[in-house]
Amino acid sequence: MIRLLKSLVLLGICLFLLLAGGCATVPLNQPKSHSQAITDTADTHFSKLANSWADLHDQKSGFFPLVQGMDALGVTSKAEKSIDLQYFLMKDDSAGLVIMNTLLEAADRGVRVRFLLDDIFTSATDEDLSLINQHPNIEVRLFNPISRRGMHYLNFAGDFRQANRRMHNKTFTVDNAISIVGGRNLADEYFQLKEGSVFSDFDILAFGPIAQEISASFDAYWNHTLAVPVEQVLKHEDFESVETVRSSISDETDDIFASIYQRALDSELLQDLISGKQVLFVADARVMSDDPDKLVNKVGEGEHMQLATELDALLRDAKREVVFITPYYVPGDDGVQYLRDLVSRGLRVVLVTNSLRSNNHVATHSGYARYRKDVIDAGAELYEARAYAGREAQGGEGPEALTMHTKLTLIDRRYVLVGSLNLDPRAIELNSEFGLLIDSEEMAGIFATGLDDTITALAYRVAKDDKGRLEWRGIVNGVETIETSEPQASRWRRFKAWFMKIVPESQL
């Protein structure tokens, strides 16, 4: 036993020395340029439309829901002066390559491109990021980057306290006049390009004066100390020239780029926007975004948790109904009490989240599952998305599985909050988030009515039977069904959900 203890102590010392000696950090005090959104865009196509729109609608903005990711991509084709993108991740897949080609084409036309990416889950290669950064009209910055020196995972673990804080914001603005915000990341599953699984997501196209507020939020993050120019992060390697790598990418992706990008350009919505024919929702709106200092200050410090704080104020003023649509939901005891308080004031509270089978983060589902009965007892209506609902709706021809990734809050059928915020500890306390609050009874009413009409076809109602056990009630292929355990989930997936209960709730 003594020999075993000595061996374990020795192993612990070796691991500590390896971690201490192997971790490296990115210096954040290196010089970088300061830049702001280009405001001199009055002569651009979208600015002319936006200014005409504002004059006709008492300086209000226009909004339109984007269900298809391709509609967002096509907007870049009309960029004339600037494109500002801020995203949580971009993958090394077809969507990532198409987006890079799209940005390069815009830059070739003289458009200034600023691209801000959170570093931790971005799998786009350093070589590709270096490629587009070499273009004189494109600048790439990585937010809160992990050092490329030594071992990546050791660097993350060695600087865990800071590396665990991530920028989850997603905004995309063209010519300071038109923006797209919501939940999508830059990867195949968000653009309906993956056959096996698809993310059901939601963005809002924002047109007019509100785009300038979104630009201001982008500028705050772009110029923050945690936003590091990509050339200060990447390993000092001799990457191939722009022309060589670009030619290689072009040869590899010509067919993909042509077909995917053409679908975006052919979008009826895009064409109607370009021509000014699209009827938009007219509304006042405001940006509700966390301060980037949230990621360098003490966890849970309310001063910089602006989005959660402002949402709390809205909910406390709610009079009759609140609908939360969130892919990842871990309320904790305080969150359950919050629901109980809303219901006690006479509000109808509806919660829609993922089932175990539709959730792509099993650990998060484990954290949520322990609160299901408490949420029901609090008086909320609880629904879980059915993984195969899309396939059933298309007669068995749809994707193998569907993950609900929409992040939307509806308050009193008047306010619509869309953005990146999940209702879990990570989003509220650890990460930074972006939200856009739209004051539109017309839009909120249409969304709420549509949800009431379709929710039984897309989700299970989670309830308790007479003995207090959970049951899932839904309509599957037109037949009323009651399940008594995690529906459509395999035994292996259920085991993983049970095992992942070991993950600390604060990290979910």
CATH of residue 74:
3.30.870.10
- Residue at which a domain ends, from 221, 245, 275: 275
- Picking from 476, 451, 473, the residue whose alpha carbon sits closest to that of residue 460 is 473
> Residue 396 has what pLDDT?
54
The model scores a pTM over 0.75: yes
Query: Given a cut of 80, is residue 15 above it in pLDDT?
Result: no
Query: Given a cut of 90, is residue 240 above it in pLDDT?
Result: no
Identify whether residues 227 and 309 lie together within a single domain: no
Identify whether residues 479 and 433 lie together within a single domain: yes
* Known catalytic residue at 405: yes
Residue 332: which region, alpha, beta or left (left: phi > 0; alpha: psi -120 to 50)?
A: left
In a domain, residue 11? The reply is no
In a domain, residue 74? The reply is yes
> Residue 21 has what pLDDT?
46
The span from the CA of 311 to the CA of 337, in Å, is 16
- Picking from 337, 409, 393, the residue whose alpha carbon sits closest to that of residue 182 is 409
Catalytic residue among 45, 170, 224, 304: 170
Query: From residue 56, how far is each of 53, 62, 280, 281, 298 by CA, in Å?
Result: 5, 11, 13, 13, 46
> Residue 253 has what pLDDT?
58
- Which tens digits make up the pLDDT trace of 446-478? 999 999 888 888 899 999 999 999 999 998 888
> Residue 356 has what pLDDT?
96
> Residue 100 has what pLDDT?
87
- Which tens digits make up the pLDDT trace of 89-114? 999 888 888 888 889 989 999 999 99
- In the predicted model, what is the mean pLDDT of the chain? 86
> Residue 410 has what pLDDT?
98
Q: For 313-338, what is the mean pLDDT?
A: 97
| Total domains, the chain | 2
Catalytic residue among 84, 93, 118, 412: 412
Identify whether residues 352 and 447 lie together within a single domain: yes
The helix or strand, by DSSP H or E, that contains position 382, with its residue range, turns out to be: strand 381-385
Catalytic residue among 60, 294, 365, 405: 405
Burial of residue 472 (number of CB atoms within 10 Å: 0-12, 13-18, 19+): buried
199 or 256: which leads in pLDDT: 199
DSSP, collapsed to helix, strand or coil, labels residue 167 as strand
Catalytic residue among 175, 201, 203, 291: 175
For 421, residues 6+ apart whose C-beta sits below 8 A from its C-beta are: 307, 308, 311, 326, 407, 427, 428, 433, 434, 435
Identify whether residues 423 and 500 lie together within a single domain: yes
> Residue 367 has what pLDDT?
95
In a domain, residue 6? The reply is no
Query: Given a cut of 70, is residue 489 above it in pLDDT?
Result: yes
Identify whether residues 268 and 338 lie together within a single domain: no
In a domain, residue 280? The reply is no
In a domain, residue 456? The reply is yes
27 or 329: which leads in pLDDT: 329
Query: Given a cut of 50, is residue 243 above it in pLDDT?
Result: yes
Query: Given a cut of 80, is residue 75 above it in pLDDT?
Result: no
Identify whether residues 228 and 316 lie together within a single domain: no
- Which tens digits make up the pLDDT trace of 363-372? 999 999 999 9
Share of the chain above pLDDT 70, in %: 82
Q: Using an 8 Å Cβ cutoff, are 366 and 498 in contact? A: yes
Identify whether residues 220 and 339 lie together within a single domain: no
* Known catalytic residue at 175: yes
> Residue 327 has what pLDDT?
96
Identify whether residues 107 and 126 lie together within a single domain: yes
* Known catalytic residue at 272: no
In a domain, residue 15? The reply is no
In this structure, what token pair is assigned to residue 48?
């002319």
* Known catalytic residue at 170: yes
> Residue 13 has what pLDDT?
40
Catalytic residue among 81, 91, 168, 294: 168
- Domain of 478 in residue numbering reads as 286-507
Which residue bears the tokens 């300038």?
Answer: 212
- Residue at which a domain ends, from 254, 275, 296: 275
With cut-offs at 50, 70 and 90, classify the pLDDT of residue 237: low
- Residue at which a domain ends, from 226, 241, 275: 275
Identify whether residues 263 and 297 lie together within a single domain: no
Rounded to a whole number of angstroms, the CA Rg of the chain reads: 24
> Residue 424: how many CA atoms within 13 Å on its side-chain side?
27
In this structure, what token pair is assigned to residue 314?
């809205």
Catalytic residue among 78, 91, 407, 424: 407
- Which tens digits make up the pLDDT trace of 379-438? 999 999 998 886 665 555 556 678 999 999 999 999 999 999 999 999 999 999 999 999
In a domain, residue 252? The reply is yes
Identify whether residues 53 and 103 lie together within a single domain: yes
> Residue 274 has what pLDDT?
63
With cut-offs at 50, 70 and 90, classify the pLDDT of residue 147: confident
* Known catalytic residue at 407: yes
Query: Given a cut of 50, is residue 10 above it in pLDDT?
Result: no
Query: Given a cut of 80, is residue 84 above it in pLDDT?
Result: yes
> Residue 368 has what pLDDT?
97
Identify whether residues 348 and 429 lie together within a single domain: yes
> Residue 18 has what pLDDT?
44
In a domain, residue 494? The reply is yes
Identify whether residues 113 and 220 lie together within a single domain: yes
- Which tens digits make up the pLDDT trace of 151-170? 766 777 777 888 889 999 99
